[in-house]
Amino acid sequence: MSLPAPLYSSPTATVDRRRMLLISPAFPPCAEVGALRWQKFAHVAAARGWTLDVITGAAMPGERADPTTLQQLPAGVRVWSIPLQPLLSERLRRHVWGAIKATARVAAGLTSRAASSAEPHASAHAAAHAESTTEGRRPASVGAESDSFFASMVRNHRARDHFASWRRWCRDVEALSSAIARERTPNVVVSSGPPHLAHEAARLAAGTLGVPLALDLRDPWFVDHAEPADLRGATWQRRTAQFESRGCHAAQLVIANTDASAALLRARYPELAARVLVVMNGADPDVRALAGRGDRFLIAHAGNLYGGRDPRFLFRGIRRFLDMTGAVPSDVQVEFVGGRTYDGIPLETIARGEGLSEVFSSRPAMPRADALRFMGQAAVLVVLPQAWSHSVPAKIFEYIQFDAWLLVLSQPTDAASQLLASTSADVVVPDDVEEIAARLSTRYAEWTRGTRPVAINATGQFDRDAQARVLLERLEQLTG
């Protein structure tokens, strides 16, 4: 294929000592937090004489895009985008499933209207209870069949379509990589995922071009808790294990972003242990410019609620803290920005059920700068528990830049707990309601005495630039 015009091209770099081909769906104009890693690393790379050609695209459903992030890239960066095209069978399945859900909603509406006319005096409390127990959940009959032979067959068929779509994307990326290399041959091919099939595309490209390969695993690849619910089964497990093994053995460098993830990889592939390098996400100094001071004791959370980030134990701990201290809504506020539901249930409904309706509010996702200003007003920033024990939520590296106390709900063996073990963060087992309340009570007492927290990263020990230098020094050794 001939080389198409890039989606974006920054000004030509004045120094071009090394060239990197980066394959990463999480890269501008993607506005998800995962895109920040290489958006920021690119600046350190440019300062060391690297130019970057980037192939992105393959956006996941619901991902946000912000074209203005392209303008924040350094000189010497070109960006191409290849969208992930679902197979015809997948598009038909989505169409049929959408029609089924629409029919179900109509039927539910008719039933609801009939019930409301029969019981006109139903209480608001009963309505709230119904909302909290049924909204966004599957009917019992569907859940009962979730492990049936038929359901398993459907998931495996869906997984085959999933991998077929990605195979086509990988071939398109390989072809574009060859076209780019004819004009500007890279010294190394680097991939960043999730989505982890970017690593397969990079493996193919590096093999075709005959250059070293580096895989950047921002989250573990083949682990049970990363298995998508709608693809769960033997097909996903077998193919994912194959892709991970093939990619890691082909790579000269495998990058993990936590010590726990690195240990997992070294245990799985002991013969590759020397190739595994830990490079954390790191904190960005420019975040601190958006810090402020709130006049209330604001307990805040920013981001979506997925992957086990259940807020209910937190809410119970906050309710207990309010009862213990006698704090009133004019002094204490709880606010979430980003995801406004958990497990399909509105957060306001969950908060109301836990007795927090007077202090709780939520707002939808907002531009990153606005979200950072929101974090900068908090007295306490909350990290909810997650299913991925080997990963550190990227938001932690934003939180630690602000003058706020961190309340981290995490198991002692989780990567987040290990990262923050020697800091001032309050790390609490997620379901320990009494300890959550006790930590909040202590911080509230300090707040009322006029004591204010100091940013955990005030000394710069977690800065992203330092992490980028670790990675780039290794890549420079690799490319000679």
Q: Which one, of 220, 198, 201, lies nearest residue 209 by Cα?
A: 201
Q: Which residues contact 319 (CB under 8 A, 6 or more apart)?
A: 354, 355, 356
Q: Does domain 285-462 have CATH number 3.30.70.1560?
A: no
Please write the tens of the pLDDT for every residue from 190-218: 999 999 999 999 999 999 999 999 999 99
* Region(s) of the chain under CATH 3.40.50.2000: 8-86+157-282+465-479, 285-462
Please write the tens of the pLDDT for every residue from 160-173: 999 999 999 999 99
CATH topology of domain 8-86+157-282+465-479: Rossmann fold (3.40.50)
Determine the average pLDDT of the residues in 419-447.
97
Q: Residue 403 half-sphere exposure, CB side, CA atoms within 13 Å?
A: 12
Question: Higher model confidence: residue 88 or residue 392?
Answer: 392
Number of continuous H segments (helices) and E segments (strands) in the chain: 15, 16
Please write the tens of the pLDDT for every residue from 8-27: 999 988 777 899 999 999 99
Q: Three-class SS of residue 21?
A: strand
Widest Cα–Cα separation across the chain:
79
Q: Tell me, what's the pLDDT at 258?
A: 93
Q: Residue length, the chain?
A: 480
Which amino acid does the sequence have at 21?
L
270 pLDDT higher than 90: yes
Determine the average pLDDT of the residues in 134-158.
60
Please write the tens of the pLDDT for every residue from 239-265: 999 999 999 999 999 999 999 999 999
**DSSP readout, 110-154?**
HHHHHHHHH-TT--HHHHHHHHHHHTT---HHHHHTTTSHHHHHH
**Measured between alpha carbons, how far is 264 from 220 in angstroms, rounded to an integer?**
8
43 pLDDT higher than 50: yes
Please write the tens of the pLDDT for every residue from 339-366: 899 999 999 999 999 999 999 999 999 9
Cα 58 to Cα 21, 141, 152, distances in angstroms:
17, 34, 26
Helix (H) or strand (E) holding 18: strand 18-23
Determine the average pLDDT of the residues in 84-110.
58
Structure tokens at 474: 């290794």
Q: Tell me, what's the pLDDT at 103?
A: 62
Q: Pairing state of beta strands 345-346 and 341-342?
A: antiparallel
**Measured between alpha carbons, how far is 286 from 280 in angstroms, rounded to an integer?**
18
Give the pLDDT band (50/70/90) at residue 68. Answer: very high
Q: Tell me, what's the pLDDT at 99?
A: 57
Q: Tell me, what's the pLDDT at 248?
A: 98
Residue with tokens 């005030």: 458
**Measured between alpha carbons, how far is 377 from 396 in angstroms, rounded to an integer?**
16
**Measured between alpha carbons, how far is 91 from 431 in angstroms, rounded to an integer?**
41
